[in-house]
Structure 1
Amino acid sequence: MREKLQGAEPDAICPEARISHPTTLRDGVEILDITNYIPFFLSSINNALSRGASAIYRERFGIGITEWRTIAMLAVEPEITAARICEVVNLDKAAASRALATLDEMGLLGSVTSEKDPRKRIWWLNDKGYELHATVIRIALAREDALIKGVDPQDLEAAIRAMRIMMRNVRTI
């Protein structure tokens, strides 16, 4: 695929693109300009947020970011399988299974074997799980407020629209 794209104009690859690829030349070698490379920003922001959240959640509640994402998903969509959690929050199967096992051991979940497939379980938050969710969501929303502080609401709406498109696009990459 790389061979086909070399020398192609960015607009020929992605006609909707309005910016050129974020590269620069150094000693005759094309390198990324990470100050304008979207995957760098997305990854860096996510890594920093996840590290910070995980430290807070582990210290205060004994859970990490993967467990929090699992709890959040079970609050959004109760009575689902691990596969559904993986699908929506982009966790790998092993991480989701570990998170569910941890949360189950902590007494935060209820589950039953699926009638359709006895190898699968259907999961939900129990009362204790919803109590933890109610506490952690306050922290998560306060962290989001701190993250977007100073961002113009119109810029934020445009960023969210762009990220929704990127979420759709990432499935085809």
Structure 2
Amino acid sequence: MLADFFARSIRLESFEIGDSTFSLDSLQETLRTLPPTIQELRIHNLPGGWQELDDSVLEVLATSGLCLTLRNLTIERGSKISDDAILQFVTARMLEFGTPVLQRVEIHFDRKVILDVVPSLQPFFDTGLIVSLDYSPPAPKGLSPWDGLEDNPDSSVWARRPRNYW
């Protein structure tokens, strides 16, 4: 259905995908049918959505001929996207056309950094590329707001509370 829409959208420059009803396969197919005029793409991986959003998304976007004018890419919750895939994607997009096309790549992770790709991207920063890789590991399970507080606080604090307190 989106393929027909994209075929008629000859001036579409920005597209945002945030619907968790897509399967990973249908997301990849949607990315393959994006019009070549797309300059900005935002993918929101909502909780309960694409649990397996992985390297294949960047592989589709790096494919020659797709999203020829893509300048800005933002991915929320790209935790299963490898650091190496990011490096390959950026390198391919920056070198593919002889002149750099990408201007900004922003990916938010729910994991720790595995491979620091920033030094390898340095030559592209000199051309104006901005890369924001936000590694925010998920909070450990089992945390409580009471962690760090005394197990048995002084009961006199509670005794001083006014009785008519609402």
Larger radius of gyration: 2
The structure carrying a bigger helix percent of its residues is: 1
Higher relative contact order by CA 8 Å / sep ≥ 6: 1 or 2?
Answer: 2
Q: Same fold per TM (> 0.5)?
A: no
> What's the TM-score once normalised by structure 2's chain length?
0.26
The structure carrying a bigger strand percent of its residues is: 2
